[in-house]
Amino acid sequence: MAAVLFGAYAAAAFFWSGATLAGDPVALARLKLQPLAGSVRSLHAAAPDGRAVPVSDVHGLLTPTTKVVPGEQIHVDVVVRRPGWIGWLAGRTRHETLTVTAPVTSVVDRWPSLGRDGTLTVRFSETPAAVVVDGHPHSAASRTVSLGKQPATGTIDVAAAARSWEKPGPPVRVSWFPKTPSPAVQVSPAPGSQISSVSQIRVTFAQPVGSARPHFTRKVPGHWTLADSHTLVFHPGQIGYGLGTDLELRFPDPVTLVGSGATRTQRGFDWTVAPGSLLRLYQLLAQEAYLPVVWNPAGADVAHTPAAEVKAAIDPPAGTFSWRFPNTPSQLTAQWNPKAVTQILRGAVMQFEHEHDLTVDALAGPQVWSALIADAIAGKRHTGGYSYVYVHTELPQLMTLWHDGQVILTSPGNTGIPAAPTAPGTFPVFEHIPVGEMKGTNPDGSHYDDKGIQWISYFHGGEALHSFNRASFGTPQSLGCVELPLASAAKVWPYTPIGTLVTIENP
């Protein structure tokens, strides 16, 4: 009989000293203790990565005291200590665990229509405790949240939290469209603008994306992804769209572009792609030995990959330039300025263009950038050295050829007479021919036609370095050119390819 009574007492003690841990519609979890359960000995909550989540216990309601992320899984661990004789009968402690997923409230329709009064209403899967619209808090009292009157079309980012102890979740894009005569689309970046070579292009349709997809009018490396049922996103490849190029996107049928401005219906939209930065142009030309300076990066060299080089072209690395040769002529060093388009830069670009069989125009266009980056990846360098010619116009007039830190030749020369002076300044050689015919008009109006002129390097209009048969040299005798003795001209000519700078000093 005593054994039966003892068993009954033990069973009652175990039953009335229980504890349960369960989910709750308001708190993170609810802890329920039976009358003889005792007290909570420890209470712990943790995120999946082991990070502690502090919680409060108010009448059994367990609530985080720091904001958690919607959808985050939280593991709750509770240890209850039973009192005296009940603990002896039913066990000293009871251990309860529960894994809870923080609730999520989501936008039900991401492509709503405006109300008749022009107001925008966003519906959620459950009443949010907090709503953030484009980064700003917004009040919410039900599952339907009014955002007031809006333009005819637009896009906003909406984030929400289902509970007061949550932080707003990741924002989602909500777009609305007006009624249009053809399918409406929103396109970003704005058509007609200048974009980065690696910018993504996003196209959002008023209706779900169908099989008729837009395409670029030229081959563009990259791929399209379906971001959601209404949105296509183009991800350019590692080399991007091409620095300084034009880009056009066409649709199979006319569409109506909608946005903050007036709507327009057409089949194609275009952008201009920004060129590479001026600083990076200098860096690459220096790195590839087309300049009289050396580029010294502050950190590691740019990786020899398409993606790294394109990124550097847009956002140049830090560093410094230094002169390649200690005795660089002062006439040249005075012109150095990597923050501006200088004759030093124009000459280097022209030489690069000529060596790569590109149009020689001194402009760093898409083809120049593409070839520069290709050479940087391959580690190619210009091997012809750096030449510079400067002409003293004070008597006696002298021409000096400097190459890779050495004065190769100093020779007397003739510049233009007062009626046809040689223009002062610095100019890159733009035509380089071993022998040619030179025609023009004399100051008195008569014409000249000199055939068989040798070793010609044109640098400014009709002005050139070339040989000429004169009785003497060192005084103004030409019609604007720099005339040299035959032997001097023959020695200079191999050092003055297209792009070589020629400076005519002011008298």
CATH code for the domain in which residue 200 is found: 2.60.40.3710
Judged by average pLDDT, the poorest of 256-265, 356-365, 440-449, 496-505 is 256-265
Q: Give the integer Cα–Cα distance in Å for 37 and 15.
A: 9
H-run or E-run covering 119: strand 119-123
* Same-domain status, 400 and 496: yes
Mean pLDDT of 246-272: 86
Q: Are residues 236 and 304 in the same domain?
A: no
Q: Are residues 423 and 438 in the same domain?
A: yes
User: Does residue 387 surpass a pLDDT of 90?
Assistant: yes
pLDDT band at 86 (very low <50, low <70, confident <90, very high): low
Instruction: Work out the mean pLDDT of the chain and round it to a whole number.
Output: 89
**In the listed set 235, 252, 273, which residue is the last one of a domain according to the structure?**
273
At CA 465, angle to CA 462 and CA 469, rounded to 5?
A: 100
Residue 165 and residue 188 in one domain: no
397 and 344 in a common domain: no
Of the two residues 20 and 134, the one the predictor is more confident about is 134
DSSP state of 494: G
List, as own/partner pairs, every contact residues 442-450 make where C-beta atoms lie below 8 angstroms and the sequence separation is at least 24, other chains included: 442/479, 443/417, 443/419, 443/479, 448/479
pLDDT at 157: 94
* 175 — pLDDT class (breaks 50, 70, 90): confident
| 410 domain residue, yes or no | yes
Evaluate whether residue 110 is within a structural domain. Answer: no
pLDDT at 36 over 70: no
Calculate mean pLDDT across residues 55-59: 88
Residue 94 lies in a domain: yes
Chain CA centroid to CA 319, Å: 20
Residue 260's pLDDT band (cuts 50, 70, 90): low
Q: Please report the pLDDT score of residue 263 as a whole number.
A: 66
Query: Does residue 215 form part of some domain?
Result: yes
The band of 116, judged by pLDDT with boundaries at 50, 70 and 90, is confident
Looking at residue 9, its pLDDT comes to 46
284 and 266 together in one domain = no
Of 115-119, 153-157, 289-293, give the range with the top mean pLDDT.
289-293
Range ranked top by mean pLDDT from 3-17, 161-175, 431-445, 482-496: 482-496
Q: Are residues 260 and 289 in the same domain?
A: no
Q: Does 226 share its domain with 245?
A: yes
pLDDT at 389 over 60: yes
Q: What is the rounded average pLDDT of the residues 121-144?
A: 93
Residue 131 has pLDDT above 60, yes or no: yes
- Is 238 a residue whose pLDDT tops 60? yes
From the CB of residue 51, how many other CB atoms can be counted at a distance below 10 Å? 11
Task: Return the CATH number at 29.
Answer: 2.60.40
**Residue 8 confidence (pLDDT):** 45
CATH number of the domain encompassing residue 403:
2.40.440.10
Is the per-residue pLDDT at 34 higher than 80? no
Separation in Å, CA 411 to CA 400, 422, 455: 7, 17, 15
Q: Are residues 439 and 477 in the same domain?
A: yes
Q: Quote the domain boundaries for residue 463.
A: 387-504
DSSP bridge pairs for 293: 323
51-55, 87-91, 402-406: which has the minimum mean pLDDT?
87-91
Q: What are phi and psi of 314, to 5 degrees?
A: -85, -40
Is the pLDDT score of 88 beyond 60?
no
Residue 396 has a pLDDT of: 96
State pLDDT tens for residues 199-223.
Answer: 999 999 988 998 889 999 999 999 9
- pLDDT for res 363: 96
Q: Both 251 and 317 in a single domain?
A: no
Give dist(CA 209, CA 474) in Å, integer.
77
Q: What is the tens place of the pLDDT at every residue in 366-380?
A: 999 999 999 999 999
> What are 150's two structure tokens?
């809006």
- Report residue 435 as tokens: 């022998």
Residue 333 above 80 pLDDT?
yes
20/78 same-domain check = yes
Q: Note whether residue 107 is domain-resident.
A: no
Does the residue 81 lie in any domain? Answer: yes
Report yes or no on 476 lying in a domain.
yes
What pTM was estimated for this model as a whole?
Answer: 0.69
pLDDT at position 275: 92
Which residue has tokens 């590692």? 238
Is residue 473 in some structural domain? yes
Distance, CA of 422 to CA of 459 (rounded, Å): 11
Number of domains in the chain: 5
- Do 418 and 442 meet the contact criterion of CB atoms below 8 Å apart? no
Choose one of 101, 132, 157: the last residue of a domain: 101
Same domain, 470 and 413: yes
Q: Which of 222, 245, 273 is the last residue of a domain?
A: 273
Rounded Cα gap, residues 485 and 496, in angstroms: 16
Residue 180's Cβ-side half-sphere holds a number of Cα atoms within 13 Å equal to 25
Provide the 3-class DSSP secondary structure of residue 288.
coil
